[in-house]
Amino acid sequence: MQELLNHPAVQGGVAPFIAALIAAIVLRRWNLAGLALIAGFIVTAFMVGSIGIEPLTATRKAILLGVLATLLGVALNKSTWRFMRATLACVGGLASIWVIWRILQQHNEFLTALPWAVGTASYVGWLVFWSDRLHSNPVRAGSAGVALGVGTGVAALFGSSVMLGLLGMSLGAASGAVLLLQLLSKQSLSCGRSFTLPLSLLAGLVGCLGVLSASLPWYALMAIAAIPSAAQIPVPQKSSMWLQSLQLSAAALLCAAGAIYLTWRVTGAPPI
Amino acid sequence: MKRSSLFSALLISASLPLSALAAETYKVDPAHTYPHFSISHLGFSTMHGRFDKTSGTITLDRAAKKGTVDITVDTRSLTTGFAKRDKDLRSPDFFNVAEFPTMTYKADSMTFKGDTPATVNGSLTLLGVTKPVKLTIDSFHCGIFPMNKKAKCGANASADIKRSNFGMKTFLPGIGDDVKLAFEIEAYKE
């Protein structure tokens, strides 16, 4: 049993998928199905031993922010404030600098650390901004989630970090569970910002940590950055949810595949 | 009573400079100091790695049988002879060198066998976690280095640690939890 639980496919795929599916089924009656994402992610974080406070590593800070973003997302689910999207992007970008602070401190020169800080904040802010546009459309959000998780996770895995890879893939697995539940029940789940905010923030942070502390090439993130936009391509509204989901997932996964290819070109096969 | 206290104080103050003189300070010779680690690879074999950059100072007071150790290892200098594995080991899965570029060993307690250090009781800080680690000194030799005629001491020391105690949990238990740390260390007298 322990051997099974230690298997990367279980830790990054099966376990978060099941956890998210159960959470979505239980919580959908209170319109809180979006919490399924963080449920799946936390299960993986626990299994790979990343849960903890001391020492507060960048990965642990990212997990902490993911939980806080979920709570914030619940509070802001119904908000229609016109500057909400830009505000969340700015806050997410600034929070990402806190996450990578210790890595930035290793740079002796301020000017060498600055591009990494700006790049990280911009990337995370970008993902938060564009993913927030999907919060009111759970099928699009779920499709984007699958691609963000798969793209970030597999690219991070190829980029020499199993832990970051599994954390990234858990986002895809959890999103897949939420998407599947919608398709099977043939009704949209009200995911809202409690789904899109932690999804974009965590996918952004895992990607940036892959670049800063492993060997993920920064330009692979450019392909991942296109995923939220790819999940907004027009699809026939009269077509079935299955077909819509298939088209949206295919478009988003194409971007993810681009990121994985770019990483594979540099790093070769994953370390497992 | 008063006279006795005064006498004790004089004795202590007189002995301080002597013990200070007896303590010798040694600076680590990075060209002959390499911390190694060895770990089980899925039970098939024992893999070895080493760190190429180490610095620090050691003080020895053989008369008082005391000493201190302050060693800093640059974890970015890790090498196992296979570049791809080195990259994996530097990642957040293992040594996380982007966040924790150094590992330190500090000790202010030693035991002696005769006038030779036998064990060092200190603490290892790895990945931001500090745990007590006892180093066993397998060999110790001091003398004049023939090339430059400088006084030097050298030692081989080792310790067993569990990597999970320092938060390094990736691929447990396949890649072993028990890690043998071995230091070959040489230091010039200052």
Q: What is the pLDDT of residue A270?
A: 62
The residues, any chain, with a CB within 8 Å of residue A169's CB and separated by 6 or more, are A12, A13, A16, A44, A149, A150, A153, A154, A157
The answer to whether the CB of A22 falls within 8 A of the CB of A33 is: no
Distance (Å, whole) CA B75 – CA B100: 8
Average pLDDT, chain A: 93
C-alpha distance from B108 to closest chain A C-alpha (Å): 24
CA A195 remoteness from chain centre: 10
Q: What is the pLDDT of residue A191?
A: 85
Distance (Å, whole) CA B37 – CA B79: 10
**Which is nearest to B20 in space by CA: B64, B50, B57?**
B64
Which of residues 46 through 105 in chain B touch A, CB cutoff 8 A?
84-85, 87-88, 90-93, 96-99, 101
Minimal Cα distance from A215: which residue of B? B87
Residue type, A153: G
Q: What is the pLDDT of residue B78?
A: 96
* pLDDT score of A63 more than 70: yes
C-alpha distance from B175 to closest chain A C-alpha (Å): 12
The reply to whether residue B92 touches residue A215, judged by beta carbons under 8 angstroms, is no
Task: Specify burial of residue A71 (Cβ count, 10 A radius: 0-12, 13-18, 19+).
Answer: middle
Minimal Cα distance from A105: which residue of B? B99
* pLDDT score of B178 more than 80: yes
List C-alpha distances in Å: B9 to B2, B4, B18.
11, 9, 15
Minimal Cα distance from B98: which residue of A? A213
- pLDDT tens across A65-84, in order? 999 999 999 999 888 888 99
- pLDDT tens across B4-41, in order? 554 554 444 444 444 445 789 999 999 999 999 999 99
Which of residues 101 through 130 in chain B touch A, CB cutoff 8 A?
101, 127-129
Minimal Cα distance from B86: which residue of A? A160
Distance (Å, whole) CA B32 – CA B182: 13
Helices (H), chain B: 2-22, 83-90
Q: What is the pLDDT of residue B4?
A: 53
- pLDDT tens across B111-127, in order? 999 889 999 999 999 99
Minimal Cα distance from A51: which residue of B? B167
Q: What is the pLDDT of residue B20?
A: 45
C-alpha distance from B32 to closest chain A C-alpha (Å): 27
Phi, psi of B91 (to 5 degrees): -75, 175
Q: Which of A44, A48, A57, A108 to mutate to test the interface with B (most CBs of B within 10 A)?
A: A57
What's the pTM? 0.89
* pLDDT score of A159 more than 70: yes
- Residues in chain B with CB shorter than 8 Å from the CB of A52 are 167
The reply to whether residue B172 touches residue A106, judged by beta carbons under 8 angstroms, is no
- Please tell me the number of Cα atoms within 13 Å of B57 on its side-chain side: 6
Work out the pLDDT band at A210, boundaries 50, 70, 90: very high
DSSP 8-state secondary structure symbol assigned to residue A174:
H
Distance (Å, whole) CA A90 – CA A86: 6
The reply to whether residue A49 touches residue B169, judged by beta carbons under 8 angstroms, is yes
The reply to whether residue B91 touches residue A49, judged by beta carbons under 8 angstroms, is no
The whole-number average pLDDT for the span B56-61 is 94
ipTM for the complex shown: 0.86
The reply to whether residue A57 touches residue B88, judged by beta carbons under 8 angstroms, is no
Task: Copy the structure tokens of residue B101.
Answer: 């570029």
Among the partner-chain residues A55, A106, A213, the one whose CB lies closest to the CB of B92 is: A213
Distance (Å, whole) CA A65 – CA A29: 26
Residue listed under structure tokens 């849960």: A51
Task: Copy the structure tokens of residue A168.
Answer: 């990234």
The reply to whether residue B127 touches residue A164, judged by beta carbons under 8 angstroms, is no
